[in-house]
Chains A and B, each alone.
Chain A
Amino acid sequence: MGSGNNPIYTGVPEKDVFALHFLQTLSNLRTQIPFSSPDKTKDRVKKIKKAAYVSMARAAGGTNRLWSRSLLHQAAKRNNKNVRLSRRRKRVTWPRRNRRDPVEEPAAERLRNLVPGGGAMETSKLMEETAHYIKCLSMQVKVMQCLVDGLSPK
């Protein structure tokens, strides 16, 4: 899945990379959460969802992309058990605020809320990241769909 005719590089790894990461994360989850507690389904759902996002961020390029980087940071902050992110010596540098020009673009605000790490990017960068994020999300959805289809009772 190459960048195609895009002038911006939005290449995304193949499906099996996502699958690999997701299954690894799931298998790690399995060791932690025993499925003996049906009350905690919400918890499980949350954990699986988080595992999905984290594995997607890993598969999509780790720390090369802004959105994946901020996703992993968020995950590492909230719950240090499942995700261990390497501590960087240097802080992630955010671009200067004045570049973002908040006066002109109230429409991009919603997009910023959706895409992880969107609050710190300028708008053109936001578009790039959104494109890559969408591609990775769709890939992850496909992987999960495959898994569900394979495991659902026939």
Chain B
Amino acid sequence: MDYFSPHTYNSSLSFSLVLNPKGKDKSFKFLYLLYMDLSVLERVKWLQQQQMVSPDFFEILGSDGREELKRVESYLGNNNDELQSFRHYETIDGCISRTSSFQIEQVKNNEENRVIALQHKRKTEGKTEKIENKKKKKIKTEDETESSMKGKSNMSNSETSSEIQKRDYIHVRARRGEATDRHSLAERARREKLSKKMKCLQDIVPGCNKVTGKAGMLDEIINYVQSLQQQVEFLSMKLSVLNPELEYHINELSTKQFQACFTDLPEAVSKQLMMVDASSFPLQHQESLDYSVINSIQTTTLGSKDQTSSGWEIHSQSLYNNLRTDSVSSFFSLE
């Protein structure tokens, strides 16, 4: 039976059929194709076709590639194990070169999708394929957090490149001529992560756009951090000079000056600060900035009914919660 229609495949085609020697529970036949000039699209289609139950099989033949692929891919959810065993065979079986590989992706966005990326080495014809001369390897990294299962789409076909899928693994592409062993690919993944973070830093640090390259950017960042620290030191010197005035102002129950300083500081906060200093600090005990102090401040703030603005209440609540989590942990650890 001729499963190929001549118009879909190139003339110089050779393949070999190998039956599944292991005889799995589900009696599927696995076909290994030694492709010479097969495009990946057709190869995948062919491969997926072989997984199909036979009645649908003939329908698929001869129809358009895109719809076929999508339909066929939907069946793949059940056949993960078989496809996984594919990979084992390709290394064991001698008649299959390392180059025979396919890449199958799933359409569904389930979380238990697994992408089986096989190695694809051969240069294919340029008609449908984007990725040529590239090797792929699946790298399982533990860098992903549990919540985000992101990865790059590595489907070479044009149809599925538009679909956004979620994966468990980070797929790293190795370019031609570069090493593909595990370590170097992990290194590359790490380097890309690092560069991503450097880009984030670039957004934060002003003036980083002009300099390119990692070293220049690092220098800029270091300069910026140093300048910020020097600013802090300079301002603290200024404050030390102004400190008597600070005390003077704090003793006065004037909120307006402080409001002028911090425009987005709500009025009640500054009021409360006055309360803090004006109220009786037990000076003999007040040697350290306890969490308990903060707690008491917040409780007095929340207990009092002076607040009129609801925004302040929400704000104080959030502040209180922020501080409270720290204090709770501190209390737990102290006991």
Contacts and interface: CB of A to CB of B under 8 A. Distances in A.
B200 interface: yes
B288 A84 contact: yes
A6 B300 CA distance: 38
B247 A35 contact: yes
Contacts of A134: 201, 204-205, 221, 224-225, 228
Contacts of A151: 239, 242, 245-246, 249, 257, 261
Interface residues of A, number: 72
B69 to A, nearest CB: 31
A141 B228 contact: yes
The prevalent SS among residues of A at the interface is: helix
Contact of A7 (B196, B241, B281, B286): B196
Interface string B211-251: 00011001001101110110111011111111111110110
Interface-central residue, A6, A53, A127, by most chain B CB under 10 Å: A127
A107 B215 contact: yes
B289 interface: yes
Contacts of A152: 238, 242
A44 B240 contact: yes
Interface string B277-316: 1000101001111110110010000000000000000010
Contact of B194 (A82, A83, A124, A143): A124
Contact of B288 (A10, A17, A27, A81): A81
A114 B229 contact: yes
B190 interface: yes
B334 interface: yes
Contact of A6 (B203, B214, B225, B294): B203
Given A14-B264, A27-B277, A141-B228, A127 B197 contact: yes
B17 interface: no
A122 B200 CA distance: 17
Given A15-B262, A83-B288, A130-B225, A147 B196 contact: no
Contact of B240 (A14, A41, A83, A146): A41
A41 B246 CA distance: 16
Contacts of B214: 107
B19 interface: no
Given A6-B200, A48-B240, A131-B200, A137 B260 contact: no
A141 B231 contact: yes
B200 A83 contact: no
Contact of A44 (B194, B243, B266): B243
A107 B218 contact: yes
Nearest to A17: B319
A87 interface: yes
A52 B221 CA distance: 21
Nearest to B292: A84
Nearest to A141: B231
B198 interface: yes
Contacts of B225: 111, 114-115, 130, 133-134, 137
Contact of B265 (A16, A63, A124): A16
B269 interface: yes
Contacts of B196: 7
A124 B187 CA distance: 12
A89 to B, nearest CB: 6
B193 interface: yes
A52 to B, nearest CB: 6
B286 to A, nearest CB: 6
Contact of B197 (A63, A83, A124): A124
A115 B225 CA distance: 8
Contact of B262 (A6, A16, A111, A115): A16
Contacts of A147: 239, 246, 261
A144 B330 CA distance: 28
Given A25-B289, A41-B240, A144-B232, 9 more contacts: A4-B203, A16-B269, A44-B240, A45-B233, A86-B329, A130-B221, A134-B224, A145-B235, A151-B261
23 contacts: A4-B203, A16-B264, A20-B265, A20-B269, A28-B286, A28-B293, A31-B286, A35-B243, A35-B244, A41-B240, A45-B236, A62-B325, A81-B287, A82-B288, A111-B218, A111-B222, A114-B226, A131-B200, A131-B201, A141-B228, A148-B235, A150-B260, A151-B246
Smallest CB-CB A-B distances: 8 pairs? A86-B330, A150-B261, A127-B197, A144-B235, A84-B288, A49-B236, A48-B236, A137-B228
